[in-house]
Amino acid sequence: KDRARLLITCNDQPGIVAKISKVLYEHGANIVQSDQYSTDPSGGTFFMRVEFELPDIERKKGELEKDFEPIGKELQMKWQFSYMNQLKRMAIFVSKQDHCLLDLLWRYQSGDFFCEIPLVISNHPDLREPVESLGIPYYYIPVNKDNKPEAEKQQLELLKKYNIDFVVLARYMQILSPDFIKHYRHRIINIHHSFLPAFVGARPYERAYERGVKIIGATSHYVTEDLDEGPIIEQGVKEVSHRYNVEDLKRVGRTIERDVLARAVQLHLEDRIIVHGNKTIVF
């Protein structure tokens, strides 16, 4: 596929679109989709996502990027090209619950996700079978209070060895250390089983039951040092009633969780998310 995406963040100022679209046009690119957003037209921050087609892109992309650089510097941008013929490499971390993992694997296998899944890492041996049956290596790395730094070192080495672009925590029930997170800043996607910021932390379904809420939810977000406080990517909800006990909430919650996580992963794979402060722009 001769298709690519360009993500841009800079201070808002007149002429940004004109300059960017001119350089793309001069290199023969056809803009297929373009979205932009500005926090404030006077003095705010400007965000843009451009998807374009460029015949013979593999040969031409070097020159395009080189010619783009002066504009990027002039407008003091942060920018990033990504190419659809370079599939993103996604690692999945999982514990014992299988619903998010199975859904991700199904979407991968059915062709919904354009990505590679070079490995799955788990702190439990339970889910080896569905992973290995797809030919994906499954690494069982137990984690406990004492070996955590060592376990994370192993995990990071595997991510490096497999050249991983981003990590998905598919109900991985361990808190990652700040040091780990630093290596994959805004590249670790978690699914939290509540409607954040409600029920931050442990046992959200139990607490939802106790509070007597009439709607439950799930939230996918990028992991930061502050537990469940990272930039929110996507949320989903479902109505419940007094008839739902904690087990019912968990059962209904599982289908929310897998859907919300899958949508977040899809958005990330399509380069539709820009993180700004502690929030996301989702194009």
Q: Which residues are near a second copy by CB under 8 A?
A: 12-18, 21-22, 24-25, 28-38, 41, 53, 98-99, 102, 106, 110, 112, 133, 195-199, 211-215, 217, 231-237, 241-243, 251, 255, 259, 262, 278-282
Least Å from the CB of residue 102 to a second copy: 6
Q: 44 is written with which tokens?
A: 């705010």
17 or 136, CB closer to a second copy? 17
* 241-249, long-range: CB < 8 A, 24+ apart: 241/214, 242/212, 244/209, 245/209, 246/205, 246/206, 246/209, 249/205, 249/208, 249/209, 249/216
Least Å from the CB of residue 14 to a second copy: 4
Helix (H/G/I), strand (E/B), else coil: 20? helix
Residue 117: in which H helix or E strand, if any?
Answer: strand 115-122
Least Å from the CB of residue 109 to a second copy: 9
Least Å from the CB of residue 144 to a second copy: 27
Instruction: Tell me the C-alpha distance between 91 and 147, whole Å.
Output: 21
Question: How many CB atoms lie under 10 A from the CB of residue 202?
Answer: 10
* 249-252, long-range: CB < 8 A, 24+ apart: 249/205, 249/208, 249/209, 249/216, 250/205, 252/216
Least Å from the CB of residue 15 to a second copy: 5
Instruction: Tell me the C-alpha distance between 167 and 96, whole Å.
Output: 17
Cα–Cα distances in angstroms (integers) from residue 22 to residues 10, 36, 82, 91, 185, in the given order: 18, 16, 19, 37, 32
99 or 153, CB closer to a second copy? 99
30 or 86, CB closer to a second copy? 30
Instruction: Tell me the C-alpha distance between 228 and 39, whole Å.
Output: 25
143 or 187, CB closer to a second copy? 187
Instruction: Tell me the C-alpha distance between 111 and 21, whole Å.
Output: 31
Active-site entry in 98, 103, 165, 228: 228
Per-residue b or e along 66-80, where b marks 16 or more CB atoms closer than 10 Å to that residue's CB: eebeebbeebebebe
145 or 242, CB closer to a second copy? 242
From first CA to last CA, the distance across the chain in angstroms is: 21
To the query of whether residue 67 is one of the catalytic residues in this protein, the response is no
232 or 249, CB closer to a second copy? 232
Least Å from the CB of residue 77 to a second copy: 16
- Tell me the chain's radius of gyration from C-alpha atoms: 21
User: Which residues are tagged catalytic?
Assistant: 228
